[in-house]
Structure 1
């Protein structure tokens, strides 16, 4: 690792030192050490799950929140630096050994799915990927020219190359190459459906074959906006291999499509 990163949470309570976000707030760097942890360094973030962090009256017993690096938010997230926080209603979390919270007893299976268009042109891995998987910057520029496009000197990648780097993914996988999302008939499955990104990340997560309950409403699709985090509950009653995708046609055609299997 050659640069600083951080962990910035959504939904939970924290003091300034544990905000994990670097921005022009007039606060001295010494008062916000979690805003960026340098290579080789360490910092203990302290976040508190209060009542406002947990499920509301119409929610399931568990609600999801996101955390992500926020030193260079766009590039950090485009590089995959994000994760999940789960907050359960008091007494609803299942107990495992060592004081850890396990799967809630009200469900048999929990699945986490992230709908996101990863812009690999914004990733910290861009230069590495160009060097590893192409014949180099010059070759990319030549291909751009062959396609009738001119690359810019300060950003030597043309529009077609940039568009090809927009990866429409579910959990980082495209075109139904995901590991199976599996369950059995009769199981109670809780889906945590997440979205993080830009204006392109307006998605419709749709299940074929089965339906879900979300805040008391029967649905087969959830509408997602950037930085939205939702819980949906499914009692599985229809066996088979079923499509699970973004209902925005451009997104599914670009790869935002998966399957889940019911045995």
Structure 2
């Protein structure tokens, strides 16, 4: 392609493009007037409040930001509060699969991945009765190892485990589910995709079932260390989910506080172990 044509199209001089380019920049007063006219009420009446009585304004501007340009730092730079690498993804889209029928769940998994999902959260039947909140894909996890791996292999037949991360959620059957997934990696000779998680969350599960949380955590950590899973760098073994607290009626702030306290407890007991 001739250099003159490249210059005309701007291909040899990259520049930053603003998302507001080509659009008028309205003043805040203009937006406020238009918003109040559309809502037929003062803007102050559009302020919502969370269960913890934290106000949420209808619009935030640069003036609402703290004076510091970025008090948390940037990804990949000290204090690394936003990630150790600049290329880390801020979040992943992992749909939660819990349809009891395994064939239906397998079709849903493929549909989700083809629709743009980054990976899957597999909710496997944990053996609880229905009146106690049972849910999940029914797999023979309590059968012999071969049957469990075969069933999981069929469920994930169309899933490249080295491309799409899988997160397990199996409750009382978390251990056999984790063992089946690890065996499936060996069978397929694939390395776990980044973000793969065996899904052990003993504190949340203890809260849901009324068990001793610290005892459940210590037992889980001992089991993971015995199988040298804690030291593996290619997958994650623990996760913290606020689902149980949300289901119990926790507010947003309460849920975050419980998760923060759970994280501290996991780190402390993990170091002690």
Length-normalised TM-score, structure 1: 0.29
Q: Looking at secondary structure, tell me which structure has more helix per residue.
A: 2
Q: Looking at secondary structure, tell me which structure has more strand per residue.
A: 1
- Which one scores higher on RCO, CA 8 angstroms, separation ≥ 6? 1
